[in-house]
Amino acid sequence: MAGLYIHIPFCESRCIYCGFYSTTSLKMREAYVDALCKEMAMRTVDRALGEPAQIETIYLGGGTPSQLTSQQLLQIFEGISQHYDSCMGRDMEVTMECNPDDITPSLCHTLSQLPVNRISMGAQTFSDERLRFLHRRHNAREVENAIHLLREAGIGNISIDLMFGFPNETIQEWQQDIEHAISLNAEHLSAYSLMYEEGTTLYRLLQQEKIKETDEDTYLRMYEMLIDKMTAAGYEHYEISNFAKPGFRSRHNSSYWHEVPYIGLGAAAHSYRRKPEVMRSWNEADIHKYIQTITEGRTEQEHEILNKETRYNDLITTALRTIDGITLEDIKKEFGDSFYQTLMTEADKHIARQLMVIKDGHLALTRKGLYISDDIMSDFMLV
Ligand code: SF4
């Protein structure tokens, strides 16, 4: 079983913090969707070489998948059922990322014709002033309207994204955002601190000293508040940035954290498979080139065969992000005694400082460890 990720690199406008590769040129959508469906057919060769044919989660991410027309969305799912039909209709998780202002009665009507059963929505904040600062297209009211429409359309699994650590944001303002999010009763919430990625407008504003980055101490207090409020509201803190009501962890993202194979379709999409050897591959990122090569019947995938050290490092940075941590037995089985000993030597130091704990055969971060997770993970890395 595997996850299927489909990348939709179109946005109506650019948000100032976004470092993802996407385009506001919507006229290429039709050719892109045709190429996506063609890639599904072409990946038959990869399936013969070991790429999984059976999928149990689908994720339409971007970019903004809700910028596709009804016809284009139907075409994509038609392609999926044609090439991955063995699993359709079973207990699948099918997620689509949507912008709140794209969620209209018309989109909900389209959703009712698709197997989509989970919507992930970038709310980011409930302050219209901060939304304008980010150059987001929606306002706070539209998030509530969107949730209302989605519920009416029968979507029982909604995830919202929030951001914290805006320039000049106070702890009280962040508290209001968290409480607002909880009041919406979504099944899942992801929260990320505002990142200043090189090449973005936000980064430029910082360099020009027009805005000031939130200090470490405030970030930490905001993160602590997030965990306290979300867990008190009945959400399970199951990954560093993710919270879910019981039974609503993201199955698709969980598979990334547990080395489950995934198939990535579309420009810049990454894939991961374990047979015949462990391999990561990725598609051409440039949308024009992607469409051109696929239309000509070629794929321009680059790949990397993962050796034991890289796989071990990957496992550290993914599994340690989760509340379940690393399964010690798996380390022994997959990597052998010497890796296990290396892991335990490092783990003992952190356990002594109460930054990590071993419970039921799993090595995981404690709450104290979560706050400095990046430092701890880098201590475990093999060079
Ligand atoms: S809508 Fe999403 S992908 Fe598009 S620019 Fe904004 S943050 Fe980036």
Same domain (yes/no): 338, 227: no
pLDDT (0 to 100) of residue 87: 55
pLDDT (0 to 100) of residue 48: 66
pLDDT (0 to 100) of residue 44: 76
* pLDDT above 70 for 281: yes
Question: Which structural domain, as residue segments, surrounds residue 376?
Answer: 308-380
Q: Whose CA is nearest to atom 6 of ligand 1?
A: 15
Q: What is the CATH number of the domain that holds 72?
A: 3.30.750.200
Q: Give me the phi and psi of 29, to 5 degrees please.
A: -55, -45
User: Are 142 and 101 spatial neighbours (Cβ–Cβ below 8 Å)?
Assistant: yes
pLDDT (0 to 100) of residue 277: 87
User: Are 346 and 281 spatial neighbours (Cβ–Cβ below 8 Å)?
Assistant: no
Q: Is the CB of 8 under 6 A from ligand 1?
A: no
For 191-242, the pLDDT digits (tens) are: 999 999 999 999 999 999 999 999 999 999 999 999 999 999 999 999 999 9
pTM of the model: 0.94
299 found inside a domain: no
pLDDT (0 to 100) of residue 86: 56
Q: What percent of the chain has pLDDT over 70?
A: 97
Q: Which two tokens stand for residue 65?
A: 């998948």
Q: What is the mean pLDDT of residues 148-177?
A: 97
Same domain (yes/no): 216, 363: no
Q: pLDDT-derived band of residue 127, with 50, 70 and 90 as boundaries?
A: very high
Q: Is the CB of 63 under 6 A from ligand 1?
A: yes
291 found inside a domain: no
Domain boundary among 230, 256, 282: 256
Distance 134 CA to ligand 1 centre (A): 10
Q: Which two tokens stand for residue 12?
A: 């109506």
Q: Which two tokens stand for residue 234?
A: 């009945």
Q: How far apart are CA 220 and CA 25, in angstroms?
A: 39
For 69-113, the pLDDT digits (tens) are: 999 999 999 999 998 865 555 689 999 999 999 999 999 999 999
Q: Give me the phi and psi of 375, to 5 degrees please.
A: -65, -45
Q: What is the mean pLDDT of residues 327-354?
A: 95
Q: What is the CATH number of the domain that holds 350?
A: 1.10.10
Instruction: Label residue 78 left, alpha or beta by phi (over 0 means left) and psi (-120 to 50 means alpha).
Output: alpha
Domain boundary among 194, 224, 256: 256
Q: What is the mean pLDDT of residues 163-169?
A: 97
Q: What percent of the chain has pLDDT over 90?
A: 86
Same domain (yes/no): 359, 211: no
Q: Is the CB of 282 under 6 A from ligand 1?
A: no
Cross-sheet strand order for the sheet of 362-365: 326-327, 362-365, 356-359
293 found inside a domain: no
302 found inside a domain: no
Q: Is the CB of 9 under 6 A from ligand 1?
A: no
Amino acid letter for position 209: E
Q: How many distinct structural domains can be found in the chain? A: 2
Mutation choice for ligand 1 from 7, 10, 11, CB with most ligand atoms inside 8 A: 11
277 found inside a domain: no
Q: Is the CB of 61 under 6 A from ligand 1?
A: no
Residue in the structure block whose two tokens are 């602590």:
224
Give the CA radius of gyration of the chain.
21
129 found inside a domain: yes
Same domain (yes/no): 101, 200: yes
298 found inside a domain: no
Distance 116 CA to ligand 1 centre (A): 21
Same domain (yes/no): 312, 251: no
Same domain (yes/no): 241, 337: no
Q: Whose CA is nearest to atom 8 of ligand 1?
A: 18
184 found inside a domain: yes
User: Are 14 and 24 spatial neighbours (Cβ–Cβ below 8 Å)?
Assistant: yes
Q: Is the CB of 263 under 6 A from ligand 1?
A: no
